[in-house]
């Protein structure tokens, strides 16, 4: 287990935020968002963050680099419901030579609903581990979150 980052509950500790409105198709028979539906929210937020940074997903793919998901962790604090406007806060953390972690906080109206972490590795076109791009390593260096 590489997972080491503990996502804080303070939205101010995050570098980026992306709003997602819950679809009816994402709810389940308990009347809440199914727990498997959070991972696409985190992914959509990562994609929005890369675009925001000026290094969109497609640029990385063109360079032969993909960021595989190695591990994923979610803590469900209180449920999300249909039509909730969810702010997904994101911060890059624990960047090493070949892997990095991303911490997430999901809030609705400023109130924490869930936290999560994904661990990623850069892989080349053959699926082998690759060095992280320079801009990503620098991003980790600039981050000084206590975790």
Which residues make up the interface to a second copy (CB under 8 A)?
Answer: 1, 3, 6, 21, 23-32, 34-37, 39-40, 43-44, 47, 56-58, 66, 68-76, 81-83
Quote the least distance from Cβ 38 to a second copy, whole Å.
Answer: 8
d(CA 104, CA 45) in angstroms, rounded, equals: 9
94 to each of 22, 27, 81, 121, 142, how far by Cα in Å?
30, 33, 32, 12, 11
Taking the complex as a whole, the smallest distance from the CB of residue 17 to a second copy amounts, in Å, to 16
Residue 13 main-chain phi, psi, to 5 deg: -85, 0
CB of 82 to a second copy, least distance (A): 6
Known catalytic residue at 28: yes
**Which is nearer to a second copy, 10 or 28 (by Cβ)?**
28
Toward a second copy, which CB reaches closer, 16 or 57?
Answer: 57
Query: In sequence order, what are the residues at sequence separation of 6 or more whose Cβ sits closer than 8 angstroms to the Cβ of residue 126?
Result: none
Q: Which is nearer to a second copy, 37 or 55 (CB)?
A: 37
Count CB atoms within 10 A of the CB of residue 45: 23
Measured from the CB atom, the residue of 31 and 141 that comes closer to a second copy is 31
Q: Where are the beta strands (DSSP E) in the chain?
A: 16-21, 66-76, 85-93, 99-108, 111-123
**Contact yes or no for 13/145 (Cβ under 8 A):** yes
- Shortest separation between residue 136's beta carbon and a second copy, angstroms: 18
| Catalytically annotated residues | 28
């Amino acid at each position: 287990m590489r997972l080491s980052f503990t996502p804080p509950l303070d939205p101010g500790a995050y570098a980026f935020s992306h709003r997602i409105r819950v679809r009816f198709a994402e709810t389940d028979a308990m009347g809440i968002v199914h727990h498997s539906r959070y991972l696409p929210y985190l992914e959509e937020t990562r994609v929005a963050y890369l675009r925001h940074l000026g290094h969109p997903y497609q640029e990385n793919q063109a360079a032969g680099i993909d960021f595989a998901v190695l591990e994923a962790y979610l803590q469900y604090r209180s449920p999300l419901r249909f039509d909730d406007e969810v702010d997904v806060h994101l911060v890059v953390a624990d960047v090493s030579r070949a892997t990095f972690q991303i911490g997430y906080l999901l809030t609705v109206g400023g109130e924490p609903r869930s936290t999560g972490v994904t661990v990623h590795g850069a892989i080349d076109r053959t699926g082998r581990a690759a060095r992280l791009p320079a801009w990503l390593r620098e991003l980790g260096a600039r981050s000084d979150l206590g975790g």
